[in-house]
């Protein structure tokens, strides 16, 4: 892995930076991208922050997101991937790699494939935003309220607003510094992220909750969102991201699953677990990955077939030795 000094050197030496993050960007992806992009810009660099699908509505309250563009506005000297576990999930147009610019991979996923020319990956970090903050502080970058809010949002969303087991003393002292130093408002950010739901998204949640099922032994809970349901409500996909948490909130459940039919022949599976099962390994069996407590994969079949593939696999895994000797220690959920 690349050392901190070398990464800081890369952030200082060049003039043109292109920043991208993972597919279906969440708060950590957007917050990390924005914080690093704004800090580089303040340092006098030319920066392109790129998200081909645009910024999800939930995160548009963050000042600076209007600078995030659907396509690159420059030919980069350095490409930086944030919060992205593998190259396939990096949400950048393929053409940008023709520049031959080195790829710097800054992330905290346990399953990171180390796809960069420079890899700066810390699975013990609560969020990629925590790693970005450490780089900005270490590199003498000037922070401001916009950057502080972006980092706060990154860390808060990835720790489930300081509820998950990746909520370390490091995370808490970092956010204390952001609140004290830049006057940001945790309650406002929580409201923006969680309490700006549409009426339809709550009604869709009701429909999805009614699909909730529990295995006979009470260890697996799952829910499904079919194309048919998606079509009945006009709810952006990112507003369904937290639905999966209801599965793992049931007492006694070890693994919670949420099946989402994102296109007629393609099903996204979100995996969540408590302390005994490393779901990043289970999702990897289906070509996905993530963290021990939260992972995902996409299966190229309609939803009913995806459920038929995943459940027996998971059942036999839980019935076998796997339950005893995976991720023994408590690790992060997101
Ligand atoms: P979510 O279920 O919230 O979409 O994802 C949970 C975690 O798993 C996130 O850290 C996300 O980056 C990762 N993840 C989700 N889907 C995939 C996937 O298809 N491949 C990989 N490698 N990671 C995924
Ligand atoms: Mn993250």
pLDDT in tens, 108-148: 999 999 999 999 999 999 999 999 999 999 999 999 999 99
The residue to mutate among 257, 289, 310, having the most atoms of ligand 1 within 8 angstroms of its beta carbon, is 289
- Distance of CA 311 from the midpoint of ligand 2 (Å): 26
pLDDT of residue 325: 41
β-partners of residue 16 are 46
DSSP for 73-102, please give it.
Answer: SS--SEEEEES-SSGGGB-S-GGGGGG-PP
> What sign for the dihedral angle of Cα 266, 296, 305, 309?
positive
Ligand sitting nearest the alpha carbon of 293: 1
As averages over each run of 10 residues, the pLDDT of the chain (334 residues) reads 97 98 95 98 98 94 98 96 95 92 97 97 97 98 98 97 93 98 97 90 97 96 97 89 95 97 96 92 95 94 98 94 42 38
pLDDT of residue 329: 36
User: Given the CA of residue 269, which atom of ligand 1 is nearest to it?
Assistant: 2
β-partners of residue 135 are none
**278-299 CB burial, b ≥16 within 10 A, e <16:** bbbbbbeebebbbbbbbbbbbb
CB of 282 within 8 A of CB of 314? yes
Ligand sitting nearest the alpha carbon of 22: 1
- Distance of CA 228 from the midpoint of ligand 2 (Å): 30
User: Given the CA of residue 258, which atom of ligand 1 is nearest to it?
Assistant: 2
- Distance of CA 216 from the midpoint of ligand 2 (Å): 33
DSSP for 274-320, please give it.
Answer: -SS--HHHHHHHTT-EE-SSEEEEEESS-HHHHHHHHHHHHHHHHHS
- Distance of CA 195 from the midpoint of ligand 2 (Å): 21
β-partners of residue 105 are 81, 119
Distance between CA atoms of residues 276 and 262, nearest Å? 29
> What sign for the dihedral angle of Cα 188, 156, 219, 314?
positive
User: CB within 8 A of 87, min separation 6: which ones?
Assistant: 113, 115
- Distance of CA 82 from the midpoint of ligand 1 (Å): 14
The angle at the Cα of 309, spanning 53 to 297, to the nearest 5 degrees, equals 25
- Distance of CA 32 from the midpoint of ligand 2 (Å): 9
Of all protein residues, whose CA lies closest to atom 20 belonging to ligand 1?
A: 288
Q: Which domains does the chain have, with CATH numbers?
A: 4-194 (3.90.1640.10), 199-332 (3.10.310.30)
Structure letter (DSSP) for residue 196: -
Which residues form ligand 1's pocket by a CB distance below 6 Å?
22, 85-86, 89, 109, 111, 241, 270, 288-291, 294-298
Of all protein residues, whose CA lies closest to atom 2 belonging to ligand 1?
A: 270
User: Given the CA of residue 26, which atom of ligand 1 is nearest to it?
Assistant: 3
pTM, to two decimals = 0.90
pLDDT of residue 74: 95
pLDDT of residue 334: 41
Of all protein residues, whose CA lies closest to atom 6 belonging to ligand 1?
A: 295
- Distance of CA 37 from the midpoint of ligand 2 (Å): 17
Of all protein residues, whose CA lies closest to atom 24 belonging to ligand 1?
A: 296
User: Given the CA of residue 270, which atom of ligand 1 is nearest to it?
Assistant: 2
């Amino acid at each position: 892995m690349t050392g901190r000094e070398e990464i800081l050197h890369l952030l200082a030496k060049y003039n043109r930076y292109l920043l991208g993050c993972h597919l279906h960007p969440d708060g950590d992806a957007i917050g990390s991208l924005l914080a690093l992009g704004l800090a580089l810009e303040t340092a006098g660099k030319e920066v392109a922050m790129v998200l081909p699908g645009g910024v999800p509505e939930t995160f548009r309250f963050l000042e600076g997101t209007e600078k995030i563009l659907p396509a690159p506005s420059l030919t980069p000297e350095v490409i930086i991937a944030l919060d992205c576990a593998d190259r396939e999930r990096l949400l950048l147009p393929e053409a940008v790699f023709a520049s031959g610019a080195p790829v710097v991979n800054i992330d905290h996923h346990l399953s990171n494939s180390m796809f960069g020319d420079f890899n700066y990956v810390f699975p013990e970090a609560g969020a990629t935003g925590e790693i970005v903050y450490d780089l900005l502080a270490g590199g003498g970058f000037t922070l401001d309220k916009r950057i502080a809010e972006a980092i706060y949002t990154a860390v808060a969303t990835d720790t489930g607003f300081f509820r998950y087991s990746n909520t370390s003393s490091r995370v808490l002292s970092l956010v204390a510094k952001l609140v004290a130093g830049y006057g940001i408002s945790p309650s406002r950010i929580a409201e923006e992220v969680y309490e700006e739901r549409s009426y339809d998204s709550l009604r869709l949640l009701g429909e999805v909750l009614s699909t909730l099922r529990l295995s006979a032994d009470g260890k697996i809970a799952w829910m499904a969102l079919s194309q048919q349901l998606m079509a009945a409500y006009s709810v952006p996909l990112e507003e369904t991201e937290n639905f999966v948490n209801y599965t793992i909130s049931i007492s006694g459940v070890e693994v919670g699953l949420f099946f989402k039919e994102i296109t007629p022949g393609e099903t996204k599976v979100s995996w969540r677990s408590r302390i005994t099962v490393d779901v990043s390994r289970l999702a990897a069996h289906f070509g996905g990955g993530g963290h021990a407590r939260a992972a995902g994969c996409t299966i190229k079949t309609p939803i009913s077939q995806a459920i038929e593939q995943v459940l027996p696999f998971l059942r036999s895994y839980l019935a076998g030795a796997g339950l005893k000797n995976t991720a023994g220690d408590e690790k992060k959920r997101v």
